[in-house]
Amino acid sequence: QSAPTQPASVSGSPGQSITISCTGTSSDVGSHNLVSWYQQHPGKAPKLMIYEDIKRPSGVSNRFSGSKSGNTASLTISGLQAEDEADYYCCSYAGSNTWVFGGGTKLTVL
Amino acid sequence: EVQLVESGGGLVKPGGSLRLSCAASGFTFSNAWMSWVRQAPGKGLEWVGRIKSKTDGGTTEYTAPVKGRFSISRDDSKNTLYLQMNSLKTEDTAVYYCTTDGSSTGPGPFDIWGQGTMVTVSS
């Protein structure tokens, strides 16, 4: 299966909001409520930010939110802060007990 | 403290083998489904494979590029997950992470991650 498509990069100024899209197919993103989002700072392990499309783990700032429409999931970060600068990956269940990650998006806080 | 610690990475020649380990602590490992995720240098994340808990059948699934070459196993008595990698190729060069991947209540998400271990396949 092919990876869901994410923009290679997005940017925003402190205090602004940005949205990262994750476009898959009806076999992955569109067929299960199992899209998750991960934040990865350079040299660090990924960190879960959103799961089951819209749920936020305890301890994750409420500035992070998830949504989905059809075959496209989205991660929105409001009130951008310098520490949000990182790579972000979506991941979708792809059926048959397999997972597929998006290509990743580099977020730059200007 | 909930923790996953990988070990066993290193330099190996193409065609060689390597076994990675992932020691778990701070949670009930035997109930957890576990996955391996890798990241080639400068590239994105790639799911490698998963093993369910023994009570859920202990079955494994793999991504196509590693099927037939990689094997995931677990030793619940040692709270340890393994990734046996055979017939290694240069394109297997990556940081390998172990991560929790759900339980009997359903798959995912990947909520606990190890720090990763680097595998370099080169002659």
What is B63-88 written as a DSSP string?
-GGGTTTEEEEEETTTTEEEEEE-S-
Q: What is the DSSP letter of B26?
A: S
Q: Between chains, do A89 and B45 touch, taking CB under 8 Å as contact? A: yes
pLDDT of residue A87: 98
Our measurement of the distance from residue A94's CA atom to the centroid of its chain's CA atoms, rounded to an integer in Å, reads 16
The two tokens of residue B18 are 């390597």
As given in the structure block, the two tokens for residue A64 are 């992070």
Check residue B37 and give its pLDDT. 98
pLDDT, tens digit (0-9, with 9 covering 90-100), for B28-82: 999 999 999 999 999 999 999 999 999 999 999 999 999 999 999 999 999 999 9
Residue tagged 């059809």 (tokens): A70
Residue of chain B with shortest Cα separation from A106: B44
Q: Residue B104: its pLDDT value, please?
A: 86
> CA separation (Å) from B61 to A49, B35, B65?
25, 9, 12
Nearest residue, CB atoms, B107 vs list A57, A93, A101: A93
> What's the pLDDT score for residue A76?
98
- B104: closest CA among B65, B52, B69? B52
Q: What angle do CA B90, A105, B83 make, to 5 degrees?
A: 35
Q: Which residues pair with A109 in a beta bridge?
A: A12
pLDDT of residue B121: 98
Residue A101 to residues A62, A66, A80, B59: CA-CA distances in angstroms? 23, 16, 24, 21
Instruction: Using pLDDT thresholds of 50, 70 and 90, give the confidence band for residue B106.
Output: confident
Nearest to A45 among B61, B97, B109 (CB): B97
> Would you state the pLDDT for residue A41?
98
| Bridge partners, residue B25, by sequence | B3
**What pLDDT score does A59 carry?**
95
Question: What backbone torsions phi and psi does residue B41 show, to the nearest 5 degrees?
Answer: -55, 125
Give the three-class secondary structure for B101.
coil
Residue A17 in tokens: 């909001």
Residue B123: both structure tokens together: 């002659």
pLDDT value of residue B105 = 87
* pLDDT under 70: residue ranges of chain A: none
* Confidence (pLDDT) at A23: 97
- State which residue of chain B sits closest to A45, comparing Cα positions: B115
User: Which residues in chain A are contacts of B108 at CB distance < 8 A?
Assistant: 34, 36, 51, 91, 93, 99
How many C-beta atoms surround the C-beta of residue A37 within 10 A?
A: 29
β-bridge partners, B13: none
Widest Cα–Cα separation across chain A: 41
Residues in B touching A100 (Cβ below 8 Å)? 47
CB pairs under 8 A between A and B: 63
